[in-house]
Amino acid sequence: MTVVAESVDLTVPPSFADVHAAAGRLSGRAIRTPLLENLQLNEICGGRVLIKAETLQRTGSFKFRGAFNLLSQIPERHKAAGVVTCSSGNHAQGVASAAAILGLKATIVMPKDAPQIKIDNTRSYGAEVVFFDRHTESREEIVEAISASSGMIFAPPYDHPHTIAGQGTCGLEISQQADEAGAPLDQMLVCCGGGGLTAGIALALAEKSPSTKIYAVEPANFDDTARSLDAGQRVSNDGNHRSICDAILTPTPGEITFAVNRELLAGALSVTDDEVREAMRFAFNTLKLVVEPGGAVTLAAVLNRKINTANKVTAMTLSGGNVDPALFCSVLGG
């Protein structure tokens, strides 16, 4: 498969310096999303809870950060061929949007059951969408075939140093905003699929707020990061399970992301689909935010006492906000 940038060693995790450099590339491109605080949520949790609203990010998710950081570093001689990636929807939109800004062609391999809003948004940026069956086909094999036949550069959804460094800018902002709020962070909860956002935030906070304990949050039965941390090596999920959290249903942690997360995480938590639905309703009714299932797992964790928040300052990511309208209506009506 074609390498994005030959100068990058894909076996070596990024550093804080890479996160800092990514922040420079994203300046004026990514939105510095707010770190919100809600009194009712604080009362429920018995402490301060700071909400990083990446639902308000460009394309509705943090994925734009990593995608733009990666695509902006593609060598000039490879740009004409364009980029290809695989995604259930948020990375798809991030890559499509970044490609449009940078004048690159983009092909996105998406599961047939991806939310229609994510498919439509991806196409709206000018990207071509190729569908696959997530239960019977390998998206990696499809991407590899497209890359081999077209020369398109592969833009990994999470397991690439540039992607991780770009996502880390979210953590850099969180540390700055927590300082501005006079709220030194005791713990940080991150929605986790392949682990790119988790690893990026962990790198940023290890430098800027080293006493902060960082936890990944995953859907029940898709807790591959939690089980990998326990085993000390990457393990995979059982492909027979299902969840409404379509954005974070990766089969196993990334090699690079797990190398970072194994060293820097305090642990990992999991939540059920019903707990996620409850969190989506709370976000809408109380926080006044529209959050998709995969983006609501952190809120579900604190609402359901998966971690002690009493007398602590807890930060969390809420990302993204690209939820299918029919699903959202059914959740709100539940």
State in Å, rounded, how far the first CA of the chain is from the last one.
45
Under a CB-based contact definition with an 8 Å cutoff, are residues 98 and 59 in contact?
Answer: no
> Is the omega angle on the peptide bond into residue 195 within 30 degrees of 0, that is, cis?
no
The sheet that has 48-53: what strands, in order across it?
Answer: 35-37, 48-53, 313-318, 187-191, 213-219, 267-271
Distances (CA, A) of 41 to 1, 35, 51, 269, 271: 46, 14, 10, 19, 18
Under a CB-based contact definition with an 8 Å cutoff, are residues 129 and 111 in contact?
Answer: no
DSSP assignment of 135-149 = TTS-HHHHHHHHHHH
Under a CB-based contact definition with an 8 Å cutoff, are residues 189 and 31 in contact?
Answer: no
Q: How far apart are CA 50 and CA 196, in angstroms?
A: 21
Q: Which residue has the tokens 């850099």?
A: 172
Q: Which residues contact 324 (CB under 8 A, 6 or more apart)?
A: 115, 116, 117
Residue 206 CA from chain centroid, whole number: 18
Active site residue 63: yes
Q: Which of 63, 118, 208, 306 is catalytic?
A: 63
At residue 250's C-alpha, the angle toward residues 265 and 132, to 5°, is: 165
* Closest CA relative to residue 139, chosen from 95, 88, 70: 88
DSSP assignment of 53-82 = EGGGSGGGSTHHHHHHHHHTTS-GGGGGG-
Active site residue 208: no
Amino acid letter for position 102: L
Q: How far apart are CA 31 and CA 40, in angstroms?
A: 26
The catalytic residue positions are 63, 319
